[in-house]
Amino acid sequence: MIELKGKPVADSVFTEITNQLTLFTEKKWAMPHLVVVLVGENPASEVYVSHKEKACQKLNFKSTLVKLPETATESDVRQTLEKLNQDQSVDAVLLQLPLPAHLDSKKLTEVIYPNKDADGLTQASLGALMAGQQKVASCTSAGIIKMLEFYNINVVNKKVVVVGRSLIVGLPLFHLLLQKNATVTLCHSKTENIKQVLQDADVAFVAIGKPNFFKATDFKKGATVIDVGIHRLPEGLCGDVNPESAAGHLSAMTPVPGGVGPMTIAMLMKNTMTLALENRIG
Ligand code: NAP
């Protein structure tokens, strides 16, 4: 079984961005500027945000972290985002999710201008994706497509299944796969007989947020499985798929950790670069 590692793919994205940066130096443009808005003190979010800052440093991007307290009101977050929308020096804005329970993440994400929407989560960005006209798409989903390209995984004329329909992973991935001419079945918590559907799939993408929920043998023999899930258990990190017995059953699978994870940050940098170029060139 081939282990589909994210690091070499993420490295190739970093190289692509570094090449694009030469234009910024030549034209004496300000470096791409990403602002992350973090509300409250979620330890996992703090780790992700520090990885994002490190990635910006590595590329010499400008990175700003705006921290708001757990008690921030909807109006506080809205005002912060509106200010960033107006700030000409800011290319890309990411509202770190999840937000504290009293805040409505869909409503607040919508405040971000689409031309600064680093994770492609506003309705305008999602609509553009559905129309095949997106500038950027959700970092995790776009990162998975990069992995398919890097590892030459063909999805045309294959039976492809996505499990999970969240706006951040499953649904954008479904649309990106359609754009790749895959014929895609999208499953969710109300789908009956998912395991039967999986037994027919050549390539399966799993993003349900439930640790070790699927067994390798739930998939067709010889299938390729992309596990998006990531969970911190007392015994360590794991995905939505239990990798036990994957080796003799699947042809390829992403490890957790080290599979899809590194792609999310790499694509956040790529999306920031795309938005920065749009802002410079129009
Ligand atoms: P989410 O918002 O909770 O969505 C989960 C989706 O899975 C929903 O569409 C839900 O269906 C579906 N689902 C739940 N239980 C199911 C079941 N038993 N059978 C079939 N479908 C089921 O989660 P998310 O934000 O998409 O994240 C999914 C996983 O990916 C999580 O583990 C998350 O940590 C991980 N993730 C990883 C990265 C990364 O960088 N590696 C990035 C983002 C997310 P309904 O719509 O019917 O409720």
pLDDT one-digit tens code per residue, 171-218: 999 999 999 999 999 999 999 999 999 999 999 999 999 999 999 999
pLDDT one-digit tens code per residue, 50-103: 999 999 999 999 999 999 999 999 999 999 999 999 999 999 999 999 999 999
pLDDT one-digit tens code per residue, 192-204: 999 999 999 999 9
Instruction: Print burial letters for 36-71: b (CB count within 10 Å at least 16), e (below 16).
Output: bbbbbebeebeebbeebbebbeebebbbbbbebeee
Q: What percent of the chain has pLDDT over 90?
A: 99
Kindly tell me if the per-residue pLDDT of 259 is higher than 80.
yes
**84 CA distance to ligand 1 middle (Å):** 29
Predicted local confidence at residue 180, as pLDDT: 97
Instruction: Specify the pTM.
Output: 0.97
CB-ligand 1 contact for 168 (6 Å cutoff): yes
CB-ligand 1 contact for 128 (6 Å cutoff): no
| Annotated domain spans of the chain | 27-114, 139-261
Q: Which architecture characterizes domain 139-261 according to CATH?
A: 3-Layer(aba) Sandwich (3.40)
Predicted local confidence at residue 110, as pLDDT: 98
Which ligand 1 atom is the nearest neighbour of the CA of 143? 40
CB-ligand 1 contact for 249 (6 Å cutoff): no
Which residue has the CA at smallest separation from atom 36 of ligand 1? Answer: 229
Which residue has the CA at smallest separation from atom 5 of ligand 1? Answer: 208
Predicted local confidence at residue 207, as pLDDT: 98
Which residue has the CA at smallest separation from atom 8 of ligand 1? Answer: 164
**61 CA distance to ligand 1 middle (Å):** 30
- Mean pLDDT confidence for 255-274: 98
Kindly tell me if the per-residue pLDDT of 145 is higher than 90.
yes
Q: Which residues are catalytic?
A: 52, 96, 119
Which residue has the CA at smallest separation from atom 4 of ligand 1? Answer: 166
Which residue has the CA at smallest separation from atom 35 of ligand 1? Answer: 229
The 3-class SS string of the chain reads CEECCCHHHHHHHHHHHHHHHHHHHHCCCCCCEEEEEEECCCHHHHHHHHHHHHHHHHHCCEEEEEEECCCCCHHHHHHHHHHHHHCCCCCEEEECCCCCCCCCHHHHHCCCCHHHECCCCCHHHHHHHHCCCCCCCCHHHHHHHHHHHHCCCCCECCEEEEECCCCCCHHHHHHHHHHCCEEEEEECCCCCCHHHHHCCCCEEEECCCCCCCEEHHHCCCCCEEEECCCEEECCEEECCEECCCCCCCCCEECCCCCCCHHHHHHHHHHHHHHHHHHHHHC
**228 CA distance to ligand 1 middle (Å):** 8
Cα–Cα distance measured from residue 226 to residue 147, given in angstroms and rounded to the nearest whole number? 10
Identify the CATH homologous superfamily for domain 27-114.
Leucine Dehydrogenase, chain A, domain 1 (3.40.50.10860)
Kindly tell me if the per-residue pLDDT of 279 is higher than 80.
yes
Predicted local confidence at residue 229, as pLDDT: 97
CB-ligand 1 contact for 96 (6 Å cutoff): no
Which residue has the CA at smallest separation from atom 22 of ligand 1? Answer: 189
Higher pLDDT, residue 176 or 282 = 176
Pocket test for ligand 1, best of 228, 232, 260, 269 (most atoms within 8 A of CB): 228
Predicted local confidence at residue 16, as pLDDT: 98
- Mean pLDDT confidence for 5-28: 98
Mean per-residue pLDDT of the chain: 97
- Contact status, residue 5 vs residue 226, Cβ threshold 8 Å: no
Are both 27-114 and 139-261 of the same fold?
Answer: yes
Omega prior to 211 cis, within 30 of 0: no
Which ligand 1 atom is the nearest neighbour of the CA of 191? 20
**204 CA distance to ligand 1 middle (Å):** 14
Predicted local confidence at residue 220, as pLDDT: 98
Predicted local confidence at residue 282, as pLDDT: 76
- Mean pLDDT confidence for 257-281: 97
**52 CA distance to ligand 1 middle (Å):** 22
Cα–Cα distance measured from residue 239 to residue 258, given in angstroms and rounded to the nearest whole number? 11
Predicted local confidence at residue 183, as pLDDT: 96
Kindly tell me if the per-residue pLDDT of 43 is higher than 80.
yes
